[in-house]
Amino acid sequence: MSAEPSLIIRNGTIVDGTGADPVEADLAIAGDQIVQIGEVAARRGVEEIDARGKLVTPGFVDIHTHYDGQAVWDNHLAPSAWHGVTTAIMGNCGVGFAPCKPADRDKLVELMEGVEDIPGPVLHQGLKWQWESFAEYLDVLEKLPRDMDLGVLLPHAAVRVYVMGERALSLENATEEDIARMRAIAADAVRAGAFGFSTSRTISHKSLAGDYTPTLRAQEEELTGIAMGMADAGSGFLEMVSDWDQPDPETEFAMLRRVIEASGRTAVFTLNQRHDRPHFWRDLLRLAGEAANDGLSIRPVVAPRPIGILLGLEGSQNPFSGTATYRSIQDLPLPERVAAMRDPAVRAKILSEDPVKSSTFPLIHRISFSKMFRLGSPANYEPAKDQSIAAIAEREGRTAPEVAYDILLEREGRGFIYTPLVNYANYDMSAPEEMLADRNAIMGLGDGGAHVGFILDAGYPTWLMSYWGRDRARFPMTDVIRRLTSDTARAAGLSDRGVLAPGKKADVNIIDWDGVGFSDPYVTYDLPANGKRLMQKSTGYEATIVSGRVTYRCGEATEALPGTVVRGQR
């Protein structure tokens, strides 16, 4: 052992992140590196952790988060940090805050507010805008110590607005000159440390005013030009979300494939089972597999369960938040709002009004009650079809809105309605299971830092372990850990982490496998401007270690903040 250890983890079950069989051993850390695995001699004065009966794994790498705003003001990137994540890649879905001219700041805030449900007042107070270029944004992020490392993607929407201004917002095609400028910006960003660039081609991504994301109709030449910017810099991957209907999945995927072939880069894309087209995701899985067989890395990123909205009185949306009467009381403190809603006259008025007509999120208010369920306590993410609000209403001889109304008032207004948006067309976990069974698929899409008022999926690592690895025993524990560590690290181009081995970065989780689980979701008011967000604690994480320093013990933060900005390969 070349260096004296600063921390020794003893007697643990080493799960190294490669998928290899576990071994009982000690693990020694010196500074921010692992220096020995095996039997480590005692060292006087060195901190030790007894991990007997516990798993010792690499820290988790999450490649799909949206901490672009929170990372500017917050040392603690919860909830992801509570769920074993030690490195997060942000800037996904084409949205972010750099590059940005001063005159365009409000435009990017409005887009982030609409696409990722991060309230404008939170962003306006929290962002100090001490940057214009992407490189300057990384420099600002680097000044704030954190509880995890961050990698950043260059967001296409920001680049497009920076280069094209109002023409980008009008969804005009980029000119050759525009594309050349975007290519140069992409090259400079990757040289500064960007892990790649992200783009969105889905109509569900809109600004708060309802305008489509500026990247929606970007032509193949534009995407190729930006990818060539990454090629110029010699690094970076493309992250894309799409509806896959321009005009069909095969045509859209062929376009992406040509971009990757031309640039020599790699790509990842969001893959879900849409409820209106419940089978076409298999076509995309097949196309990605064919690309892999041809030596092209175009990998799907999948969720381990349905992506679901939590509708509640404390969240940003509920089935009645678009009605005039509810809007008249929505700013009351929760106890007063609950009391008002229990008034028979108020109840009758809310139930009689159209929630879609004046809704800021009409998509939510058009969701069928057959796809809404009582979340319950403990939270049930796998409800049966006969547990839907529509089914309950039919059995009890009531209307579905009446049932939903009463669920919202449960637990003194803290009850949630769970609404799977994707991956639950069959009212079971068969789609996520089949996606996860594909070894080319990457586990992700937890969206940590985003959708703070109605989606809470940043605990996906905990779900993957507890549901698929332990309770269902569908996937081996060693493979579950591999998918959270070396697989995601490799996809992001991170070669120094994701595996427990001498010389690798000392990012480590110590896990009580039998105790891994969740608390119930709850709302806390801890964002700038007293903004609220959904949160969910984890259980079973005995310790999380970043760069050799313990950042969390039994779910509680220590004073250590060793996390920094990770610069991509140059």
Average pLDDT over residues 358-366: 70
Counting Cβ atoms within 10 Å, is residue 500 exposed (0-12), middle (13-18) or buried (19+)?
Answer: buried
Q: Provide the percentage of residues in the chain whose pLDDT is more than 90.
A: 91
Q: Provide the percentage of residues in the chain whose pLDDT is more than 70.
A: 98
User: What whole-number distance in Å separates Cα of residue 165 and Cα of residue 101?
Assistant: 10
- Measured at the CA of 294, the angle between CA 292 and CA 298, to 5 degrees, comes to 35
pLDDT digits (tens, 9 = 90+) for 468-490: 999 999 999 999 999 999 999 99
pLDDT, residue 279, reads 93
Residue 360: pLDDT over 80: no
pLDDT, residue 208, reads 77
Position 210 confidence tier, pLDDT thresholds 50, 70, 90: confident
pLDDT digits (tens, 9 = 90+) for 421-466: 999 999 999 999 999 999 999 999 999 999 998 899 999 999 999 9
SS3 label, residue 522: strand
Position 357 confidence tier, pLDDT thresholds 50, 70, 90: confident
Structural contact between residues 68 and 122, judged by C-beta atoms closer than 8 angstroms: no
pLDDT digits (tens, 9 = 90+) for 211-235: 999 999 999 999 999 999 999 999 9
Q: What are the phi and psi torsion angles at 556 (to 5°)?
A: -105, 135
pLDDT, residue 246, reads 78
Tokens representing 429? 């976990």
Tokens representing 342? 């229990």
CB-CB neighbours of 296 under 10 Å: 18
Q: Among candidates 515, 40, 517, which has minimal Cα distance to 49?
A: 40
pLDDT, residue 44, reads 82
User: What whole-number distance in Å separates Cα of residue 541 and Cα of residue 538?
Assistant: 7
Residue with tokens 């089972």: 273
Ranking 114-128, 352-366, 513-527 by mean pLDDT, the lowest is 352-366
User: What whole-number distance in Å separates Cα of residue 530 and Cα of residue 398?
Assistant: 38
Q: Which domains does the chain carry?
A: 61-306+428-475 (3.20.20.140), 309-422 (no CATH)
User: What whole-number distance in Å separates Cα of residue 557 and Cα of residue 540?
Assistant: 14
Q: Among candidates 368, 395, 456, 417, which has minimal Cα distance to 117?
A: 456
Position 362 confidence tier, pLDDT thresholds 50, 70, 90: low
- Measured at the CA of 375, the angle between CA 363 and CA 120, to 5 degrees, comes to 45
Residue 17: pLDDT over 80: yes
Q: Among candidates 432, 409, 417, which has minimal Cα distance to 367?
A: 417
Average pLDDT over residues 361-383: 89
Distances 193 to 139, 154, 175, 353, 567 between C-alpha atoms, Å:
10, 10, 27, 52, 4
pLDDT, residue 206, reads 87
pLDDT, residue 557, reads 98
pLDDT, residue 367, reads 87
pLDDT digits (tens, 9 = 90+) for 93-123: 999 999 999 999 999 999 999 888 899 999 9
Average pLDDT over residues 329-358: 94
Which amino acid would we find at residue 563? G
pLDDT, residue 207, reads 86
Mean pLDDT, the chain, whole residue set: 95
Does residue 406 or residue 46 have the better pLDDT? 406
pLDDT, residue 376, reads 95
The span from the first CA to the last CA of the chain, in angstroms, equals 30
pLDDT, residue 477, reads 98
pLDDT digits (tens, 9 = 90+) for 18-76: 999 999 999 999 999 999 999 999 888 789 999 999 999 999 999 999 999 999 999 99
pLDDT digits (tens, 9 = 90+) for 540-553: 999 999 999 999 99
The separation between CA 563 and the C-alpha centre of its own chain, rounded to angstroms, equals: 18
Structural contact between residues 417 and 318, judged by C-beta atoms closer than 8 angstroms: yes
